[in-house]
Structure 1
Amino acid sequence: MSITINKLAYYDYQILDTFEAGLVLSGPEVKAVKNGGINLKGSYINIKDDRQASLVKAHISSYKPAQLVQRNYDPYQERRLLLNRKELKILLGKSKEAGITVVPLKVYLKHGLIKLEIGIARGKKKYDKRETIKKRDFERRKRREITF
C-alpha cells in the first residue's frame, strides 16, 4: 500500500535503478506517516562514507495526540535509512558519478513496516521534460477517444 509518491522526482529525473530501504522513525512519526503526514517534495538521500545513508529535507508532520512527547519536534530532521552494506556501496559509487543523484521515490507499507523506495537518477533536460508532457497528453487523448 503506497502512502505517498514523489511525482516531481519522476518528472525531473530519469530513474536508472531502484532500491528498497527501511526508515528509522520514532513512534509518533510512524503514526503520522501512516496517516499520510509525509511529503517528499525537494528531499534527497545523503550518503556518508559507505556506512550510513539518510533522508534529508523530507517533511513528516507531528502527530497531534503525541504533542506532549514531541515538544521540540523538527519535521525536517535527517532520518536514517536501513540498507545493506552492499547496497550502500553501490549507491555511493553511483552517486559519485557526474550528473547522478539519489532521490526518494515513494513511501509505502510492507508487512506493517514503513519502507522507502529510492532511485538512482539522472537529471532531465528541459526538452526531455517537454517530451514527457507531450507523451502523457497524447496517452490521455488516446484513452479518452477509446472510451467514446
Structure 2
Amino acid sequence: MGKQNIPIKIACENRKARHDYFIHETFETGLALQGTEVKSLRAGKANLKDSYAVIKNNEIFVEHMHISPYEQGNIFNHDPLRTRKLLMHKAEIIKLFSKTREKGYTLVPLKVYFKHGKAKLELALASGKHNYDKRQDLQAKAAKRDVERALKERQRF
C-alpha cells in the first residue's frame, strides 16, 4: 500500500490557526491518551481552539485541548482540559525547542486525526500575523475567487 492510500479520519481541526498564524513547518506527532479520550475523539467531540504546545524537560505537551467526556464513561472519564503528552523523537523536540526560543515562534496544533487506528496530532511551527497581514490574505483570497469566477464565466461562452 502506497503512502497516498493511507486512510485518515479527521477528528477535529483548528481552522482559525491558518488565519491567525503564518505556518512555517508542520510535524506529525502521536498523542498519549486515556481510553475514554480515544472514544470521544472517534466521535469527533474535541476542540483545538486556544490550544498550544509547550516543551518542558525535553518533553512536549499540548495545553488547553478540549476533549469532551465520553457519555458512557462513568467513573473512568477524564478531565476535558488536562495536559496531554505528545510523542515525538527527541531530536525533533530539541529542534523545536531551539526554534521556539527565537522571537515570535510558537507551536500550534492544526488538527487531530486517526491514521492506522492511532491518534495523531498535526503540530505547526508558526508565527503570529498582524491585522494588516490578515487583511492582505483576505484581499488576495477575494481577488483569486474573482479571477476564477471570471474564467468560469468565460468558459461558458
Question: What TM-score does the superposition give when structure 1 sets the normalisation length?
Answer: 0.91
Answering whether residue 96 of structure 2 is matched by residue 87 of structure 1, we say no
Counterparts of 1:31 and 1:141, CA distance in 2: 43
1:63 corresponds in structure 2 to 70
> 1:128 corresponds to which residue?
133
CA distance in 1, matches of 2:12, 2:49: 10
- Displacement of 1:66 after TM fit? 1.1
Could you tell me the percent identity over the aligned residues? Answer: 41
Q: Which runs of 5+ in 2 are unaligned?
A: 1-8
Partners of 1:144 and 1:63 lie apart in 2 by 45
Q: How many Å apart are 1:143 and its aligned residue?
A: 3.5
CA shift at 1:54, angstroms?
0.5
Does structure 1 residue 112 correspond to structure 2 residue 149? no
2:44 and 2:54 mapped to 1: Cα distance? 23
Q: Aligned in 2, Cα 1:29/1:13: closer, same or farther, shift over 3 Å?
A: same
Aligned-residue offset at 1:145 = 3.9
Secondary structure of the corresponding residue to residue 64 of structure 1: coil
Paired amino acid for 2:62: L
Larger radius of gyration: 2
Give the deviation of 1:34 after TM superposition: 1.0
Q: Tell me the amino acid that sits aligned with residue 44 of structure 2.
A: G
Matches of 1:26 and 1:140, distance apart in 2? 44
How many residues are treated as equivalent by the alignment? 145
